[in-house]
Structure 1
Amino acid sequence: MVRYKDVVDASKEGPACPLPIQWSGPEYYVDEDCLTINVYTPSNKVDKPLPVIFFIHAGGFYSMTGRSDLAGPHYLLDRDVVFVAINYRLASLGFLSAGDKYAPGNNGFKDQVSALRWVQRNIAAFGGDPNLVTITGCSAGSISVMLHMISPMSKGLFHRGISMSASPVSKAPTPKHQFHLAKQQAEILNCPTNSTKAILDCLNTKTWRELGNSLTGFFDSAGDPIGLWGAVVEQDFGQERFLTMQPLDAIRQGKMHTVPYIISQTKHEFFWKAYSILQNQTLTDRMNSQFEQAAPFSFLLPEENIQTVAKTLKEKYLQNKPLVNDEASAKNLGTLYGDSVVGFGVHRLANLMCLHSKHPVYYYQFSYIGNNSHYQDPKTGKPLGAAHHDDMIYVFSLSYQFPLIETSSPHSHKVDELTAIWYNFARYGDPNPRPDTPELGSLSWPVMKPDQRKYLDFGDKLTIQENMSEDRFKIWEELYPIIY
């Protein structure tokens, strides 16, 4: 741990963790010395410690950052909260794992734990309440939030959780290592692959820039696979372990430190991935002729029983019809991408947690379509759905891609609603209206229960519905059965 003798000027943002220069641009501030924390406080004077909202950024564990262009505090600081956004090491630097003493894995998660420990030690100096910390995250950050409820390293470091659009429990168990990715990283940088030690000895001679830029070599021309690195169940080599057992087992056995929890997904998640296939004839032909071979890579499916799985998905989602570049194929293939990559896992997480958590679980679907989206029609510039990450537009000022939503905007009420939900939840562990959050009107959002699976639909209006997309998720439950 670094201890500074003198006052440190922390008024400027630190760098992003290593990313490909093709993604960040040559002028973007990127450096290996990237484990920084951004702390934001409201300008008004408050006479008691404020709830802390701690954000873990998205990006598949290989991209994005906690810098203010991706996690801008402007909307949240209209509420009386202290907001914290963090970086953690990405890709091979953060998640390389070989299941041995040389690379047991989970370094990026341990970075997150270090940041949470820093908050416990220091946030009071910024007006924050260390006994009222809400950990939040989208996508990779969403997975992280749930894993912190299981990790022995994270116990006592937070008091609420919000997971948006991803789950660590889905179709397959969490692996003990990802040596195949370590080997692939070595091959991309012309390193030997005969042992973990040989791989690491060689990778240690490479610059962080070489490691960051090598990331593009992991993906095909359609940008698949969407997911690569992730958590591993660490074997004991004498190190402090972030994850010591299967998340599914921990949930079912109650071996977790649960807190009040909000779980969500967007209505159209990864629908736009269909266009990257259908607007490329070569990729369309490959998906049609080699669906069984393409499916594990594109839809993040286990290889086990892939013949039956691929046959079922092709029948249920694509009606056994060849894919063509039209609206019907785009809708069907886009729904398959969304359900497989995000939707089913989130469904499974919500159902497990409402059954086994000692604390309330709230579930919502973000279906609102405003002026902006993370996927906009190239011809019209207009959104086509509520895509993956789109609820983030109304929580953070995402200046890297979107204009600020002014109070005069017809969409500003969505910022008010979503930040009010976060504010109430951070304070009380209950997102429902309080006298100082009239934006939520007469909302009465019930706790999700195993036999009453109600959820909030966050659309043009806030409405309570039941059994989110369970007709489709039943297909996956049959393909990948578990005992709940």
Structure 2
Amino acid sequence: KPIPYPKWYPKTIIANGYKPCCPQLDINGQPHGQEDCLHLNVFVPLANIPSSSIGRRFPVMVYIQGESFENGDAALYGPEYFLDWDVIIVTFNYRLGVLGFLSTGDEHGTGNWGLYDQLLVLRWIRDHIESFGGDPNQVTLFGQGAGASSAILHLISPLSTGLFNRVIAQSGSPLCSWSMEHNAGSVAIELARKIGCPIRRGNGELIECLRRVKLAVLLKEQQQGKIFGEYPHQFVPVVEEVGVAHERLVPNEPRRLISHGHYRRIPLMMGYNKDETAFLYPLILNKQMIGDQIGNLRKYLEEKLLPRFIRATIRFGGGKNAEFEMIGNNARRITIKDYEQSIQQNILFKYFNFLNSKNYPEMAVRFVNMSTDALYGSCIDETLRLYSAAATSSNQNLNVMNHFLSLPFTNITYKYVFGYRGRNSMLNLILPGNHHRQLYNDGGLMWWPNNNNQEFDPTTNAVCHGDELFYLFNLKFSTRKPQDNRDTLIQRRLLHLWTDFAKHGY
């Protein structure tokens, strides 16, 4: 686990630049970053402090970056837009991927190192933010994607009590299937096997062997388990099984903790974007992926697309050979394969019924609707329902967090859906250029005419995962375009909503 930096007084540290990000693979699949990466950045709106308000304390907004627990760099998130609204912004790096979330499920590798990095940042803010003009009693924790899931985990963790007062969770929750690993021990063993570390001499020796492996090898090997695009994300948070419950950051299943009322009663705002999984368009419309099934859409769905998606994104407990008890009138024990097939049939009926057998663009739009519901909408809605219900529990096995229930907090709950497509989108990183014709024709993607015999591009109006970040942060992306008047209006509204929530909780 991370340890606080030793006191440096009376030495002066020049802190006017960003430090390297934590080790990860760049967009070209090459390792970059440094292991000495646990640094935070504090941005203060000093120019907005009038002479009569010396001693005024600003609300603090702490941002946890996302990117699937595998990538991320605090230097990409410029704070300038927020500073105009009289709040302090804190960004930081935390350990990612195998270095941040490898777990053997026992004392040799308890996992969640990246979450403990986040916890240390929150404790630092509690102890030191007053020195920067911040109010330690008015801290809002917000994050996107994996950062949103992390924020909710801190909300329900006994270790994070009293470190923040509000939460904004953008497009993520620990109830989402991609955000927690239930077979972490098996994942660690498979990684060790591929690298050549012993897997039959105990987890202690396994961990020691992995520590001797070159970092570049570890980073590249963690990508080898992908089945469908970037899924599954294997090195993610886990339920900690070792140690005293109240000393563990994630002491039990998040759904169980929330459903029993085991969370801090503070204002929560959660939501997601209209077409979260639009980043999958280049995958599901890929000529190579479709292959010889170009004329048989139903076969493509049933034999290739849906099986890969379900296998990559649905998380199961108990390993490959586990059986599950189906609840209902005809309860029976079924295998994972049976369960996957049941899910597939339900998906086909709900989302792809009465679909023209050759209408691939419509299929792609429906697939994005389905996967957005499956990976974001359903789990975020469930989190909000459980949280707003303010359930209490007398379950003695979960009394680790019962002390939360007596705290004088209010669980005001808000939901949003972001549906504005402006000039900037994360899709521009995947489909660069003002027009997609060349990439579609030469890059292996497919165009189809619509009813007016005009080319139909399903990505044109999609609001992708992370698109709202262009309006909250001065993102340091080379593809960023200047905003038009509508973009500026949406940006002001979003910043007003976010900062008002940070200041007032509504």
Report what 1:457 is aligned to.
none
Report what 2:490 is aligned to.
414
Deviation track 1:24-58 (CA, whole Å, cap 9, x = no partner) reads 767x6x10111110111113253201000000001
Matches within 5 A, 1:301-450: 302=316, 303=336, 305-319=339-353, 326-356=360-390, 358-376=410-428, 380=435, 383-403=460-480, 405=482, 409-430=485-506
Deviation track 1:59-106 (CA, whole Å, cap 9, x = no partner) reads 111111222x2x110111111011000111101111111211101121
Report what 2:140 is aligned to.
134
Report what 1:446 is aligned to.
none
2:170 corresponds to 1:164: yes
* Structure 1 residue runs without a partner (length 5+): 431-484
Alpha-carbon offset, residue 338 of structure 1: 1.4
Deviation track 1:262-306 (CA, whole Å, cap 9, x = no partner) reads 101000110231431221334565654246642433443544722
Query: Which shifted more, 182-191 or 84-93?
Result: 182-191
Query: Matched residues in 2 for 1:129 and 1:42: separation?
Result: 13
Deviation track 1:413-449 (CA, whole Å, cap 9, x = no partner) reads 111111111111111101xxxxxxxxxxxxxxxxxxx
Counterpart of 2:197 (choices 172, 184, 191) is 191
- Name the structure with the higher helix share: 2
Alpha-carbon offset, residue 395 of structure 1: 0.2
Task: State the identity as a percent.
Answer: 28
Deviation track 1:122-147 (CA, whole Å, cap 9, x = no partner) reads 11111111110000000001101111
Counterpart of 2:39 (choices 36, 40, 51) is 36
Counterpart of 1:289 (choices 299, 303, 325) is 303
TM-score normalized with structure 1 length: 0.81
Report what 1:13 is aligned to.
18
Query: Matched residues in 1 for 2:30 and 2:216: separation?
Result: 13
- 1:58–1:140: 8 Å Cα contact kept in structure 2? yes
- 1:225–1:297: 8 Å Cα contact kept in structure 2? no
Alpha-carbon offset, residue 210 of structure 1: 3.2
Alpha-carbon offset, residue 189 of structure 1: 2.9
Evaluate the alpha carbon distance shift between residue 40 and residue 188 of structure 1 in structure 2; reply closer, same or farther with a 3 A threshold: farther
Deviation track 1:334-354 (CA, whole Å, cap 9, x = no partner) reads 112211111211121122222
Query: Matched residues in 2 for 1:225 and 1:175: separation?
Result: 12
Matches within 5 A, 1:19-98: 19-23=24-28, 30-46=33-49, 47=53, 48-67=56-75, 69=76, 71-98=77-104
TM-score normalized with structure 2 length: 0.77
Query: Matched residues in 1 for 2:141 and 2:44: separation?
Result: 17
Query: Matched residues in 1 for 2:314 and 2:354: separation?
Result: 20
Query: Which shifted more, 253-262 or 164-173?
Result: 164-173
Query: Matched residues in 1 for 2:471 and 2:388: separation?
Result: 26
SS in 2 for 1:136: strand
Evaluate the alpha carbon distance shift between residue 23 and residue 197 of structure 1 in structure 2; reply closer, same or farther with a 3 A threshold: farther
Report the structure number with the largest CA radius of gyration: 2
Query: Matched residues in 2 for 1:143 and 1:165: separation?
Result: 8
Alpha-carbon offset, residue 257 of structure 1: 1.2
Query: Which shifted more, 170-179 or 157-166?
Result: 170-179
* RMSD (CA atoms): 2.6
Report what 2:270 is aligned to.
263
One-letter code aligned to 2:73? T
- 1:60–1:228: 8 Å Cα contact kept in structure 2? no
Query: Matched residues in 1 for 2:358 and 2:22: separation?
Result: 39
Query: Matched residues in 1 for 2:234 and 2:170: separation?
Result: 19
2:261 corresponds to 1:254: yes
Bigger relative contact order, structure 1 or 2 (CA pairs below 8 A, ≥6 apart): 2
* Structure 2 residue runs without a partner (length 5+): 294-299, 317-335, 392-409, 437-458
Deviation track 1:238-269 (CA, whole Å, cap 9, x = no partner) reads 69311112212221221211310110100011
Deviation track 1:168-201 (CA, whole Å, cap 9, x = no partner) reads 1246996555123212332343323333223211
Query: Matched residues in 1 for 2:203 and 2:359: separation?
Result: 44
Evaluate the alpha carbon distance shift between residue 11 and residue 176 of structure 1 in structure 2; reply closer, same or farther with a 3 A threshold: same
2:169 corresponds to 1:155: no
- 1:272–1:375: 8 Å Cα contact kept in structure 2? yes
Evaluate the alpha carbon distance shift between residue 405 and residue 423 of structure 1 in structure 2; reply closer, same or farther with a 3 A threshold: farther
Query: Matched residues in 2 for 1:204 and 1:151: separation?
Result: 29
- 1:39–1:83: 8 Å Cα contact kept in structure 2? yes
Query: Matched residues in 2 for 1:90 and 1:344: separation?
Result: 26
SS in 2 for 1:271: helix
Query: Matched residues in 1 for 2:141 and 2:18: separation?
Result: 21
